[in-house]
Copies of this chain bind each other. A is one copy, B any other.
Amino acid sequence: MQDVARLAGVSAMTVSRALRSDASISQATRARILEVIERVGYIPDQTANMLASRRSGFVVALIPALNNSNFADTVRGINDSLAGTGLQMILGATDYSPEREEELIATTLRRRPEGIILAGSKHTARARRLLTHAGLPIVQIWDFPDDPLDQVVGFSNADAARAMVHHLADRGFRRIGFVGSSVPSDTRGFERQRGYCEALVERGLGPPRLVNAAKPPGSIEQGGLALGRLLERWPDLDAVFCVSDLAACGAMMECHRRGMVVPRDIAIAGFGDFEISRCTHPRMSTVAVESYEIGALAGRHLVAALEYDGDPATRPVARIRTPFTVIAREST
């Protein structure tokens, strides 16, 4: 910057001003400076900018996994909502582990992010302490916690799963099994399981028939294995609801292998409305959730919180319930 200033015959401060739109500087001077910048290929150092202006321009997003099409869509939503704001995203994958999340929170907070978006509501005590102590705007997504840290954009996974069980019951299925998540800390998977159990009670459909399998998002193979274990224990099963579309897809393929016709012999339902669910044969009934929209809204409300400059006590705090829809296709 000093070099540019010298070449343009001004002070470094004037160069700094030329690079920002709001500063008062004459047209002629700015043009001259920008011309020099272009000529010498100067790239301003945002690190120094961050230090001096006390604004990092970073937003942290922590999601369980990158190779899950739901979360990938959410990341896309966040990314799109940040475009044009000058903010950049630091992405972290927690692998569904609260400890890994805590670690990521600790290391990313050193970068002095301006806000943070977290999937879920299960955090270690230290993670919660770090977050509240940092005093940044937070958006929790993909869940609807009773005790939110700050803003929320999500939905009740239990309610969403319950809705699917009611759909199955409405279609006349009575002996409904569930393929759950194998990871205890997958709170969304656990909530879906809870919703399944509650709905069984509501419809008087007897005790739960469930097996856990499939690391989230659940590989296709494990969905097939899980179906096998379910049928071994409850051979009279007439429907299976899987914690994710991937597991459901595996279950459906296992049905094909066993010569069972879906949904005549057994119904299969998934969760997430992955693109995959439109390509199975028969097409998969599933619960659609607004993956992209969750990210986009989270980003937008985080930005709103960052731009808010009134009394911190009266900052608007969004608690948004995104909708979910049972999509009845051919598999139920």
Residues of A within 8 A of B (CB): 41, 43-51, 56, 65-67, 69, 72-73, 75-76, 79, 88-91, 93, 106-112, 129-130, 133-134, 219-220, 246, 249, 252-253, 256, 275-276, 278-281
Query: Which residue from chain B places its CB closest to the CB of A248 in the assembled complex?
Result: B279
Q: A79-B66, A276-B279 are in contact. Are A45 and B112 (CB under 8 A)?
A: yes
* Cβ B279 vs Cβ A43 within 8 A: no
Grouping DSSP codes into helix (H, G, I), strand (E, B) and loop, the A interface class, with mixed when no group exceeds half, is helix
Q: Specify which of B72, B107, B281 is in contact with A72 (CB 8 Å cutoff).
A: B72
Nearest CB of B to A141, in Å: 16
Q: List 21 A-B contacts (CB under 8 A).
A: A47-B51, A47-B56, A47-B112, A65-B76, A66-B75, A67-B76, A88-B90, A88-B107, A89-B90, A220-B278, A246-B275, A249-B275, A249-B279, A252-B279, A253-B279, A275-B276, A276-B276, A276-B279, A279-B280, A280-B280, A281-B281
Nearest CB of B to A288, in Å: 15
Q: Which residues of B contact A69 (CB under 8 A)?
A: 67, 69, 72
Q: Which residues of B contact A46 (CB under 8 A)?
A: 110-112
Query: Which residue from chain B places its CB closest to the CB of A291 in the assembled complex?
Result: B67
A110-B43 Cα distance, complex, nearest whole Å? 6
Q: Specify which of B65, B76, B133, B281 is in contact with A93 (CB 8 Å cutoff).
A: B76
Extra contacts besides A79-B91, A249-B275 (11): CB < 8 Å? A43-B106, A43-B130, A47-B51, A67-B72, A88-B107, A246-B275, A249-B279, A253-B278, A256-B281, A279-B279, A280-B280
Residue of A46, A112, A220, A249 most packed against chain B (CB within 10 A): A46
How many copies make up the complex? Answer: 2
Q: Which residues of B contact A48 (CB under 8 A)?
A: 51
Q: Specify which of B45, B89, B130 is in contact with A91 (CB 8 Å cutoff).
A: B89
Nearest CB of B to A313, in Å: 23
Query: Which residue from chain B places its CB closest to the CB of A73 in the assembled complex?
Result: B67
Q: A51-B47, A90-B88, A281-B280 are in contact. Are A66 and B56 (CB under 8 A)?
A: no
Query: Which residue from chain B places its CB closest to the CB of A252 in the assembled complex?
Result: B279
Query: Which residue from chain B places its CB closest to the CB of A245 in the assembled complex?
Result: B279
Nearest CB of B to A59, in Å: 11
A43-B107 Cα distance, complex, nearest whole Å? 9
Q: Which residues of B contact A106 (CB under 8 A)?
A: 43
Nearest CB of B to A127, in Å: 13
Query: Which residue from chain B places its CB closest to the CB of A112 in the assembled complex?
Result: B47
Q: A51-B51, A66-B79, A89-B91 are in contact. Are A45 and B110 (CB under 8 A)?
A: yes
Nearest CB of B to A111, in Å: 5
Query: Which residue from chain B places its CB closest to the CB of A250 in the assembled complex?
Result: B279
A79-B249 Cα distance, complex, nearest whole Å? 27
Nearest CB of B to A57, in Å: 9
Q: Which residues of B contact A73 (CB under 8 A)?
A: 67
Q: Which residues of B contact A108 (CB under 8 A)?
A: 88
